[in-house]
Amino acid sequence: MMGTALFTARLITRIGIRVPLLVGPALVFSGMVWLTRLTASSEYVDLLGPLLVLALGMGQCFVPLTITAVAGVKDNETGLASALLNTAQQIGGAVGLAVLGTVSASAISSRLAASHGHFPAAAVASATTHGYTDAFAVAAVLTVAAFIVSLTVIRVKSPTPAPRAEVVPTTDPPLVAPASTTL
């Protein structure tokens, strides 16, 4: 994710923030949908692909969102804008994790309730995987919402270069320091 963020920071100087703000959520969506295909017998290697896609997508999202959050903010207020962004990310992450954890726990409980009190290891593994994949599906839907917001709401104008000061030649004589007198 960090490598992608560094690459995206350099890329933005050439192409602007629009493309990363659209490609990032699309990659995150792809990774989340890929995670919904996990089964109780999935191994870590089955997680590696979706996790890499998620890292690529999230790395592309963070830099342009930070730039967008502080764009147009007065110089003396950029610290405040940055702090508000970080606070929103922290609270949003905590609330999102709580929502997805609740979705997962609810799906696990409903799957185990269907076992009528019989909880062999295979049933628990299947219910747990079912809960996680349901949470990943909800996360994918939330990512579609983020994509739509990026597409329709977020607008940042390209910075316009400052007008150049025009050099006008003058006909005034150059200033000369008066000769010093010595005693």
**Would you say 122 and 40 are in contact if contact means Cβ atoms under 8 Å apart?**
yes
Place of tokens 């007065």: 74
**Integer Cα distance of 150 and 16 in angstroms:** 14
Does the pLDDT of residue 42 top 60, yes or no? yes
Residues 47-56: what's their mean pLDDT? 95
**Would you say 149 and 125 are in contact if contact means Cβ atoms under 8 Å apart?**
no
CA-closest candidate to residue 155, choices 86, 64, 57: 64
Residues 10-19: what's their mean pLDDT? 90
How does the average pLDDT of the chain come out, rounded? 85
Q: When comparing pLDDT for 54 and 71, which is higher?
A: 54
User: What is the DSSP code string of 62-98?
Assistant: HHHHHHHHHTT--GGGHHHHHHHHHHHHHHHHHHHHH
Model pLDDT for residues 83-112, shown as the tens digit of each residue: 999 999 999 999 999 999 999 999 999 989
